Structures are given as C-alpha cells and as structure tokens.
Amino acid sequence: MSQKTSKVLAAILILALLVDASDGVSWKCIVAGAGAGAVSVVAAPLVLSAVGFTATGVAAGSMAAVVQAGIGNVAVGSTFAALQSAGAVGLAATTKFALGTTVATMVGSASCTLSSVKSWLEC
C-alpha cells in the first residue's frame, strides 16, 4: 500500500471517530466503505489482467480479445483504449483515488441504507 493510500485511509478512520455512532451504524458504514475502497484499488490491476488487458497488449483468447474483435478498430480515448492503457502501465494516481472514493461512497451508502431498512423493519 502506498504512503498516499495509507494517509487517505488514516484520514477516513479519524473522521469515523468523529462521527456520532451511538447506534454503531455510522461506524460500520464508514469501515465498510473504506475497506471496499481500498480493496477496489488493489484488485483493479488483477481484474484487468484477468480479463485480458496485460502489459504486452490484449491477451489472445481473453474476454478483452473477444470485445476487441467485435469493436474492430479501437478509437483513441475510448473506454477500451483506457482499459488497455491501465492494463499496460497501471492505473494513474488520480484514477486510483477516483476508483477508491467512488467504491467507498457506494458501499458505505449502501451499507447504511441496508442497516436503516433492517432497523426500520425490525420495529
């Protein structure tokens, strides 16, 4: 884990301590979101490689190769081109940040929503 990632996670945890978590739901949501965000940043290169976006190009016989065959000529700046670039040279720091914060927000929000619905149904 990079030093920047560690600092972001530390900041999230410090903020979590400041949240009123008298019922425990807020803390759980923040931890779930932070954990999912960190995992997504670590897993992204593995997923790209698994579907065929490698450092040497699109892997023959992979899902990426099937998609590329369907596309034909890949347009510069397209999603496919961006995925291949990320597979070849890795994710940019800004992309890692965007991915991590997006996943963290989505998972944290979903976790709180599900907890709230569960609490409401139990009443």
pLDDT for res 82: 92
How many structural domains does the chain have? 1
* Between 71 and 1, the higher pLDDT residue: 71
Q: What is the mean pLDDT of residues 106-118?
A: 78
CB atoms near residue 85 (< 10 Å): 14
CB-based contact 2:17 (threshold 8 Å): no
Compute the distance between CA of residue 119 and CA of residue 29 in angstroms, rounded to an integer. 14
Domain range enclosing 16: 3-122
Evaluate if pTM is beyond 0.85. Answer: no
The pLDDT tens digits of the residues spanning 71-111 come to: 999 999 999 999 999 999 999 999 899 999 999 888 888 88
pLDDT for res 34: 85
The CA-based dihedral angle spanning residues 66, 94, 2, 111, taken in that order and rounded to the nearest 10 degrees: -80
The pLDDT tens digits of the residues spanning 9-53 come to: 666 666 655 555 555 567 778 788 888 888 999 999 999 999 999
pLDDT for res 49: 94
Closest to 36 (Cα-Cα) out of 102, 114, 86:
102
